[in-house]
Amino acid sequence: MKKIILSTVAILTVIATLVTSSEKILAADDTIKIGVFEPLTGENGGGGSQEVDGIKYANKVYPEVLGKKVELVIVDNKSDKAEASIAATRLVEKDKVVAIIGSYGSGVSIAAGDIFKNAKVPAMGASCTNPMVTEGNEFYFRACFLDPFQGTVLANYAFGQGVKKAAVITQMGDDYSTGLGSFFSREFEKLGGQVVSKSEFQTNEQDFNSILTNAKAAGAEVIFAPSSIATAGLIIKQARALGITGLIMGGDTWENESIIAVAGTAAEGVVISTFFDENNSAATAEAKKFVPGFKEFLNGKDQVIPAVSALGYDSYIVILDAIKRAGSTDGEAIRKALVETKNLEGVTGSFQFDENGDAQKDFAVIKVIKDGKFQYLSSQSIAK
Given CA atoms 258, 260, 263, 267 in this order, what sign does their dihedral have? positive
Same-domain pairing of 262 and 370:
yes
Asked, for residue 101, whether it belongs to a domain, the answer is yes
Residue 346: domain span: 30-145+283-353
pLDDT at 303: 67
**20 within domain boundaries:** no
Q: What is the CATH number of the domain that holds 169?
A: 3.40.50.2300
pLDDT of the residue at 293: 95
Residue 18 covered by a domain: no
What's the chain's Rg over C-alpha atoms? 23
Q: Distance (Å, rounded) from C-alpha 102 to C-alpha 49?
A: 11
Same domain, 185 and 51: no
Strands (E), the chain: 31-38, 64-65, 68-76, 99-101, 123-125, 140-142, 165-171, 194-201, 222-224, 247-250, 271-274, 344-345, 350-351, 364-370, 373-380
Same domain, 180 and 311: no
Q: Are residues 95 and 182 in the same domain?
A: no
Distance, in Å, from the CA atom of 374 to the CA atom of 296, rounded to the nearest integer, reads: 20
Q: What is the pLDDT of residue 283?
A: 76
Q: How many structural domains compose the chain?
A: 2
The rounded distance, in Å, linking the Cα atoms of 7 and 207 is 75
Supply the DSSP symbol for 267: G
Contact 233, 258 (CB under 8 A): yes
Do 242 and 371 fall within a single domain? Answer: yes
- In a domain? residue 129: yes
State residue 363 phi and psi, 5-degree precision: -130, 130
Respond yes or no on whether the N-terminal peptide bond of residue 103 is cis (omega within 30° of 0).
yes
Cβ contact 310:275 at 8 Å: yes
Are 318 and 239 in the same domain? no
Helix (H, G, I), strand (E, B) or coil at 224: strand
Position 211 scores a pLDDT of: 97
Q: What is the mean pLDDT of each run of 10 residues along the chain (384 residues)?
A: 45 43 48 98 94 98 98 98 97 98 96 98 97 97 95 96 97 94 97 98 94 98 94 97 97 93 97 91 84 91 84 98 98 98 94 96 91 90 62
C-beta neighbour count of 44 within 10 angstroms: 27
Q: Report yes or no on 107 lying in a domain.
A: yes
Would you state the pLDDT for residue 143? 97
Q: Are residues 233 and 326 in the same domain?
A: no
Q: Is 233 inside any structural domain?
A: yes
- Answer yes or no: do 292 and 341 share one domain: yes
- The one-character DSSP state at 5 is H
Find, among 272, 263, 202, 198, the residue nearest to 236 by Cα: 263
Same domain, 375 and 294: no
227 and 371 fall within a common domain: yes
Residue 89 included in any domain: yes
Residue 267 lies in a domain: yes
**Judgement on whether residues 224 and 305 belong to the same structural domain of the protein:** no
pLDDT at residue 17 in the model = 47
| pLDDT averaged over every residue in the chain | 91
DSSP state at residue 266: G
Strand, helix or coil at 331? helix
The closest of 266, 264, 275, 273 to 312, measured between CA atoms, is 275
Does 247 lie in the same domain as 370? Answer: yes
